[in-house]
Amino acid sequence: MLAALLVMTGIALALGAALGYAAFHFKVEGNPLAGQIDAILPQTQCAQCGYPGCKPYAEAVAKGEAEINLCTPGGDDGVRKLAELLGREFKPRGTPVEKLKTVALIDEQTCIGCTLCIQACPVDAIVGSAKQMHTVVSRICTGCELCLPPCPVDCIALVEEPRTPQNWRWKYPATGLKVVA
């Protein structure tokens, strides 16, 4: 009887010590689920979901505070991936996603150098300083449109990226229809 009690107590203590050690030494910083969700999001940082960027939205989804279908640039495809990851029901987003990537373009004739767009850009893709002309580094621009509202002279437009042989894509091969009758 006593031996059995001692053995059980011993096992309990050993396991408790192991768990305590693991909890202390192998602690995962932050929420790993938020990282996985963030990896699916398109990183446009457009804040159209109502959160100030992709990471905050990912954290909100991970905590269960936000719906999974709030991301506009991600489209239905992104919602489907999130639903798969989280085991939740797919909710259609309902917006067209098949569009060319757009980038912001500043009309340099009109720009007055107010720096408001620089402060609005989530990825620091606009360069310039006060009363100097600004310009967009198109390679970095995510096309989030956040620079449009603050511009006092409406000199920013979103333009489609030009098609080049490098970013041109082959079409899905057309499957011939079969004549059955």
- The residue ranges that bind another protein (CB under 8 A) are 38, 41-45, 53-55, 122-125, 140, 142, 163-165, 167-173, 175-176, 178
Of 17 and 100, which CB lies nearer to another protein in the complex structure?
Answer: 100
Taking a C-beta distance cutoff of 8 angstroms, is the pair 133, 111 a contact? yes
Of 23 and 176, which CB lies nearer to another protein in the complex structure?
Answer: 176
Of 54 and 104, which CB lies nearer to another protein in the complex structure?
Answer: 54
Signed CA dihedral, 61, 67, 70, 76: sign only: positive
Min dist. Cβ of residue 142 to another protein (A): 5
The 8-class DSSP code of residue 132 comes to: S
Min dist. Cβ of residue 41 to another protein (A): 8
| Length reported for the chain | 181
Min dist. Cβ of residue 23 to another protein (A): 28
Among 157, 150, 160, which residue's Cα sits nearest to residue 136? 157
Of 26 and 90, which CB lies nearer to another protein in the complex structure?
Answer: 90
132 vs 16: CA distance, rounded Å: 64
Min dist. Cβ of residue 55 to another protein (A): 7
CA distances from 97 to 29, 77, 159, 160 (A): 34, 8, 16, 14
Of 16 and 52, which CB lies nearer to another protein in the complex structure?
Answer: 52
Query: H or E stretch including 153?
Result: none
For the record, the structure tokens of 24 come out as: 């202390």
Min dist. Cβ of residue 161 to another protein (A): 11
